[in-house]
């Protein structure tokens, strides 16, 4: 199925889209995935716009302030399958106790990843920067979701309170400059749209061919050694698939900074990566070595 001898899914959730922890393990077994990073989403359910069918129904009480993908679900799954799951957690950046909560999660539950960073807060907000710096001080990579607040044309159409997360690539760059000792792992439509050289004029959420040359994301990878990316979800797959030749060059040029990841189920990403004819050593890095290296010192 793949040249990689091992696979680590570095962006995954549990009790999510109709699968519990056992269902997720069964899906991992089906596609030869050894381990998965389990990430939270600490944003109020009312602020996410996500339908209840995608979330864990056990804690959904009318009027409650439940978060979309809470830490206790990750802890439960990791205790049941300690050899298959690696715990991740990211507090909401506006929480005054965010750093204390992340520290407690590291000490109590062995959290090794700060993620998923996904909220309607600009990534260069001072509260966000402090959390990003703290994660770096504890040697935790940060998996972040980026979605732009405005889409062209006509000067920018607001995508809505539910849909924008983190700001733009400019907010990201300022955050990376402010937290140079933190590893940033990019994800989401707002991140991958920057593969397009005309991203500022692209009026859709997801990319499709043809791509204009000169995407700013390519420049950022050259400029910032602390920028990584996971290949999860439709956003990465559509961006890479919009120009496989560009995708292959990018993966080869920065093979030590991309991570196999799904954010969902199935083998679509595996199928696509197999079409790129990547060298075995690149497959090894993307498949598991990079993910294992990033959490080795956490």
Q: What is the DSSP letter of 152?
A: S
pLDDT at 298 over 70: no
Lowest model confidence (mean pLDDT) among 132-141, 157-166, 214-223: 157-166
Residue 298, both tokens? 């956490």
Whole-angstrom CA distances from 21 to 27, 60, 76, 291 are: 10, 18, 9, 21
Name the band, by pLDDT with cuts 50, 70 and 90, for residue 62: low
Question: How far does the chain reach from its first CA to its final CA, in angstroms?
Answer: 31
Contact 286, 251 (CB under 8 A): yes
What are the DSSP E strand ranges found in 40-154?
41-44, 67-69, 85-87, 114-117, 142-145, 150-151
pLDDT at 255 over 60: yes
Of the chain, the percentage scoring pLDDT greater than 70 comes to 96
The domains found in the chain, sorted by start residue, are: 8-295 (3.20.20.140)
Does a cis peptide bond (omega within 30 degrees of 0) precede residue 65? Answer: no
pLDDT at 65 over 90: no
Residue 188, both tokens? 């989401």
pLDDT at 64 over 70: no
Whole-angstrom CA distances from 188 to 81, 166, 197 are: 28, 10, 17
**Phi, then psi, of 166 in degrees rounded to 5:** 90, -25
Residue with the two structure tokens 């400029």: 223
User: What pLDDT does 156 receive?
Assistant: 85
pLDDT at 150 over 90: yes
User: What pLDDT does 96 receive?
Assistant: 95
Prediction pTM value: 0.95
């Amino acid at each position: 199925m793949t040249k990689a001898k091992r696979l680590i899914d570095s962006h995954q959730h549990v009790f999510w889209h109709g699968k519990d922890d056992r269902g997720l393990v069964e899906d991992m077994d089906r596609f030869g995935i050894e381990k998965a990073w389990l990430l939270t989403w600490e944003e109020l359910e009312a602020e996410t716009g996500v339908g209840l069918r995608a979330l864990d129904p056990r804690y959904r009480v009318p009027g409650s302030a439940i978060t979309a993908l809470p830490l206790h679900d990750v802890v439960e799954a990791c205790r049941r399958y300690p050899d298959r799951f690696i715990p991740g957690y990211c507090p909401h950046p506006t929480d005054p106790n965010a750093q204390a909560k992340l520290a407690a999660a590291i000490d109590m539950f062995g959290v090794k990843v700060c993620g998923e960073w996904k909220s309607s807060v600009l990534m260069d907000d001072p509260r966000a920067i402090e959390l990003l710096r703290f994660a770096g001080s504890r040697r935790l990579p940060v998996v972040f979701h980026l979605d732009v607040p405005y889409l062209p044309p006509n000067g920018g159409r607001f995508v809505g309170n539910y849909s924008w997360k983190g700001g733009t690539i400019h907010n990201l760059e300022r955050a990376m400059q402010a937290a140079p000792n933190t590893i940033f792992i990019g994800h989401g439509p707002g991140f991958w749209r920057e593969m397009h050289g005309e991203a500022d004029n692209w009026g859709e959420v997801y990319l499709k061919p043809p791509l204009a040359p000169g995407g700013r994301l390519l420049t950022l990878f050259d400029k910032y050694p602390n920028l990584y990316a996971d290949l999860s979800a439709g956003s990465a797959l559509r961006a890479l698939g919009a120009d496989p030749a560009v995708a292959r060059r990018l993966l080869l040029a920065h093979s030590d900074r991309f991570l196999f990841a799904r954010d969902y189920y199935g083998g679509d990403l595996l199928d696509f990566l197999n079409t790129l004819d990547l060298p075995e050593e690149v497959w090894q890095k993307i498949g598991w070595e990079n993910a294992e290296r990033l959490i080795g010192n956490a």
